[in-house]
């Protein structure tokens, strides 16, 4: 009897040790966002809350960012494992030697726009002349803004520019210090309308030929080479998170607000989340799962950057130099 109890106790100890080892075996991963938390990021918090990342052995820490440029620098330097950042901004950085690559693209239709209150009657690029535009240096929109200007025949001298962070931009437009701001249709446009209770009119970059892929998952090349299994497991959980967020946007928003109570108001965030989900599919891969980007879409993005974004065509290389779908589920 004593021997039997001893064997049972030993088995329990081994089981507990094994479960502890498994818990300790989870890979600690940092995901730095492109900006402060808002509705676009809600599915990632849903995945964190529901344990999708834990199911894949990932101990995920989501950190807020201060613009895609800053996020990409953090990934390149190894201070963030993954970045959720603007892919066009990443391409420009990678072309200059930053050791980063996109392993998934979330937003395959551009949400970028320059926007203001509808009562100012600024409806087309020519109406921007003589106005004041609020921008955030280093964020994804300020990186792509020069392409929009070149594509529409505008020059920096045609308008006044004021700089500030996300909240400063919103305040500038709401107080009349600026007429317009650079923002996403599912983020700043909704916040402006919600804050001022006035209709907002966005001039969409995509409507004027600047329809590039937008936010995606970026990783350092050395990390990808050394930890391919971690990348695959992370992307499996991220793909599942985006799919479930699109199916149940309210659950995604609730998870985000639970983790980050100051990230928005439920009704407004829900509108933003629904708008975000519509951008997951590209024109050349409508049946693919989230994060899987079409080759044509990426090539068009590279071409636009070469034509209007200051990317040197001779040294830019191929679109496939900047992304891969090989690690997606």
How is the chain split into domains, by residue range?
8-109+213-321, 112-208
* Separation of alpha carbons 12 and 327, rounded Å: 38
Identify the residue whose tokens are 């613009």: 67
State which CATH number among 1.10.10.10, 3.40.190.10, 3.30.413.10, 3.40.50.720 fits the domain covering 112-208.
3.40.190.10
pLDDT at 206: 86
* Separation of alpha carbons 253 and 267, rounded Å: 9
Q: By three-state DSSP, how is residue 94 classified?
A: helix
**Burial bucket for residue 2 (CB in 10 Å: 0-12, 13-18, 19+):** exposed
Q: What is the pLDDT of residues 14-52, one digit of tens each?
A: 554 454 444 457 999 999 999 999 999 999 999 999 999
* Separation of alpha carbons 43 and 93, rounded Å: 27
* Separation of alpha carbons 133 and 181, rounded Å: 5
Token duo for residue 44: 């990632």
Q: What is the pLDDT of residues 300-322, one digit of tens each?
A: 999 988 887 788 888 899 999 99
* Separation of alpha carbons 199 and 190, rounded Å: 9
**176 pLDDT band (50/70/90 cuts)?**
very high
Considering the segment(s) 8-109+213-321 as one domain, its CATH architecture is 3-Layer(aba) Sandwich (3.40)
Q: What is the pLDDT of residues 260-292, one digit of tens each?
A: 999 988 988 998 999 899 899 877 788 899 999
Element of type H or E holding 202:
strand 200-204
Q: What is the pLDDT of residues 213-270, one digit of tens each?
A: 999 999 999 999 999 999 999 999 999 999 999 999 999 999 999 999 999 889 889 9
The reply to whether domains 8-109+213-321 and 112-208 share a CATH topology is: yes
pLDDT at 4: 53
Q: What is the pTM assigned to this prediction?
A: 0.80
């Amino acid at each position: 009897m004593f021997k039997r109890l001893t064997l049972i106790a030993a088995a329990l100890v081994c089981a507990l040790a094994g479960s502890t080892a498994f818990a300790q075996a989870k890979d600690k991963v940092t995901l730095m966002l492109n900006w402060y938390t808002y509705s676009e990021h809600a599915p990632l918090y849903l995945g964190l809350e529901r344990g999708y990342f834990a199911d894949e052995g990932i101990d995920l820490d989501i950190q807020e960012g201060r613009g895609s440029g800053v996020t990409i620098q953090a990934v390149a330097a190894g201070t963030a494992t993954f970045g959720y950042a603007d892919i066009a901004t990443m391409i420009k950085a990678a072309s200059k030697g930053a050791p980063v690559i996109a392993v998934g693209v979330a937003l395959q239709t551009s949400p970028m726009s320059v926007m203001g209150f509808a009562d100012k009657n600024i409806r087309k690029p020519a109406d921007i002349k003589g106005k004041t535009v609020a921008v955030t240096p280093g964020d994804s929109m300020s990186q792509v803004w020069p392409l929009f200007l070149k594509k529409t025949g505008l020059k920096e001298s045609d308008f006044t520019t004021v700089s500030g962070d996300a909240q400063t931009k919103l305040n500038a437009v709401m107080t009349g210090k600026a007429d317009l701001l650079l923002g996403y249709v599912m983020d700043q446009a909704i916040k402006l309308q919600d804050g001022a209770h006035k209709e907002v009119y966005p001039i969409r970059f995509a409507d004027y030929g600047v329809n590039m892929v937008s936010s995606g998952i970026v990783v350092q090349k050395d990390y990808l080479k050394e930890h391919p299994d971690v990348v695959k497991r992370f992307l499996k959980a991220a793909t599942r998170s985006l799919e479930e967020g699109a199916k149940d946007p309210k659950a995604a928003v609730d998870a985000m607000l639970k983790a980050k109570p100051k990230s928005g108001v439920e009704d407004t965030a829900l509108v933003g989340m629904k708008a975000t989900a519509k951008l997951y599919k590209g024109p050349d891969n409508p049946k693919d799962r989230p994060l899987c980007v079409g080759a044509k879409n990426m090539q068009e993005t590279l071409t636009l950057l070469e034509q209007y974004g200051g990317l040197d065509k001779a040294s830019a290389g191929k679109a496939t130099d900047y992304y891969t779908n090989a690690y997606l589920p």
